[in-house]
């Protein structure tokens, strides 16, 4: 896991330094416990019992265990991309599917691999495959993302972000 | 044996583009620190941009901000003084799954899809982020059916893929993020 000081002092990654095929530094979370899942349910007030009531999940819904929430996964990918872009880049968009279920005991490796880089309106766009891999090399959340990284000597990335024309 | 029909009826097609009411998604006091603390702990993100005023002032955001799609979660919360939805749900159904009977009368909800296909699976999400909310911001959301596709699978199962797009804005009308969620009905 990343620390507050690492995020406070994070060095900027530049568009110029990224190569197609490059793996971005992963974020490892876990092992997840029922307590982590319950904390998320309480934080967003999602009271669906399959996420914290093991008897209900197994004996009522026929699931293998309580399940990690799709809404939690949905928050983790943007958070990971945000970390990559800090301090002055922008995690613009991400899309993903929900595949393998996450259950207590799983350790999740959030990852990104660069598939392309392009410039639009003077901004440096990085296209990536992304996902959340479980420990037995099972992909839980395959998808794609586009982030924007500063170009050395280039213009500042606007904030609020403005989508470049034609990107 | 009769062949399954494509479940995309003319009545369902008319729902494409239908937009729900724009509602305030944030509580009456807007984005606040305690909500950020609870949420950022739950996503295990210690970023000081969410809690350290002095540091946050020196960033490009010029102050504390909320995580990228935090604003999409806050409308689900029960405000103080409201009848307890959990007690109501379990009073009406002691075997409630914790969803049925809890989330009723969601303001801004889209009209239901008139289909006998009741099982819903999350097919995927698409997120675009443009701005992070700051402390005190008021968040508004508006949903629409951006697409509905119907088909029959190779094994003869009829299904609908319903894509809902929700746009989140702040009190000045600035777009914060756009979320699209595709659900499979079968």
Chunked into runs of 10 residues, chain B (186 residues) has average pLDDT values of 83 97 93 97 98 98 96 87 91 89 79 90 93 97 97 92 97 97 93
* Residue A19 forms part of a structural domain: yes
Chain centroid, CA B7 distance in Å: 25
What's residue A1's pLDDT? 81
Instruction: Bin A103: left if φ > 0, else alpha if -120 < ψ < 50, else beta.
Output: beta
CATH at A109: 3.10.129.10
Say yes or no to pLDDT of A94 above 80: yes
Q: Which residue is closest to B36 within chain A, CA to CA?
A: A43
φ and ψ of B25, to 5 deg: -90, -25
Say yes or no to pLDDT of A75 above 60: yes
| Cα dihedral B93, B95, B100, B104 sign | positive
* Residue A118 forms part of a structural domain: yes
Of residues A100 and B104, more confidently modeled: A100
Residue in A8, A47, A93 closest to B127 by CB: A93
Taking the Cβ of residue B11 and every Cβ of chain A, the question of whether any pair is shorter than 8 Å is answered with no
| Cα dihedral B57, B61, B67, B71 sign | positive
Encode pLDDT of A101-153 as tens digits: 999 999 999 999 999 999 999 999 999 999 999 977 899 999 999 999 999 99
What pTM did the predictor assign?
0.94
Residues 110-129 of A with CB under 8 A from B: none
Domain count, chain A: 1
**Domain of residue A29, residue span:** 13-149
Average pLDDT over residues A71-77: 94
What's residue B76's pLDDT? 78
User: Given the structure tokens 């530094």, which residue do they identify?
Assistant: A25
Q: Do A79 and B98 touch (CB under 8 A)?
A: no
Which of the listed CATH numbers 3.40.50, 2.130.10, 2.60.120, 3.10.129 matches domain B10-31+66-185? 3.10.129
Residue ranges of the domains in chain B?
A: 10-31+66-185
What's residue B79's pLDDT? 86
* Residue A165 forms part of a structural domain: no
CA atoms of B183 and B186, how far apart (whole Å):
10
What's residue B75's pLDDT? 82
Q: Which residue is closest to B182 within chain A, CA to CA?
A: A97
Taking the Cβ of residue B39 and every Cβ of chain A, the question of whether any pair is shorter than 8 Å is answered with yes
User: Given the structure tokens 């280039």, which residue do they identify?
Assistant: A154
Residue in A74, A82, A90 closest to B125 by CB: A74
Encode pLDDT of A25-68 as tens digits: 999 999 999 999 999 999 999 999 999 999 999 999 999 999 99
Nearest to residue B78, comparing CAs of B87, B91, B69, B70? Answer: B87
Q: Do A93 and B128 touch (CB under 8 A)?
A: yes
């Amino acid at each position: 896991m990343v620390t507050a000081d690492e995020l406070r002092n994070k060095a900027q990654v530049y568009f110029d330094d990224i190569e197609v095929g490059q793996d971005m530094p992963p974020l490892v979370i876990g092992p997840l416990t029922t307590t982590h899942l319950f904390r998320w349910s309480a934080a967003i007030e999602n009271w669906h019992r399959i996420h914290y009531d093991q008897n209900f999940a197994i004996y009522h819904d026929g699931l293998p265990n309580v399940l990690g929430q799709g809404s939690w996964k949905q928050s983790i990918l943007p958070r990971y991309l945000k970390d990559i872009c800090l301090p002055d880049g922008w995690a613009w968009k991400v899309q993903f599917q929900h595949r393998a279920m996450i259950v207590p005991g799983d350790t999740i490796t959030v990852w990104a691999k660069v598939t392309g880089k392009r410039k639009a309106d003077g901004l440096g766009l990085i296209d990536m495959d992304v996902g959340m891999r479980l420990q037995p090399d099972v992909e839980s959340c395959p998808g794609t993302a586009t982030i924007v990284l500063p170009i050395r000597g280039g213009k500042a990335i606007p904030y609020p972000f403005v989508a470049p024309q034609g990107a | 044996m009769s062949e399954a029909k494509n479940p995309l009826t003319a009545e369902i097609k008319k729902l494409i583009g239908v937009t729900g009411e724009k509602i305030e998604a944030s509580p009456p006091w807007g984005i606040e620190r305690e909500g950020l603390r609870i949420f950022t702990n739950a996503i295990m993100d210690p970023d000081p941009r969410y809690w350290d005023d002095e540091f946050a002032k020196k960033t490009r955001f010029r102050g504390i901000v909320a995580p990228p799609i935090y604003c999409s979660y806050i409308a689900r919360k029960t405000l103080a003084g409201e009848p307890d939805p959990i007690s109501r749900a379990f009073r009406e159904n002691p075997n409630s799954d914790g969803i049925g009977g809890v989330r009723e009368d969601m303001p801004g909800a889209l009209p239901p899809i008139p289909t006998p296909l009741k099982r819903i699976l999350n097919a995927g999400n698409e997120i675009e982020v443009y701005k992070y909310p700051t402390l005190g911001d008021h968040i508004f959301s508006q949903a629409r059916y951006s697409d509905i596709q119907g088909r029959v699978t190779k094994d003869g199962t009829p299904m609908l893929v319903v894509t809902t797009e929700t746009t989140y804005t702040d009190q000045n009308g600035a777009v914060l993020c756009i979320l699209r969620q595709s659900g499979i009905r079968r």
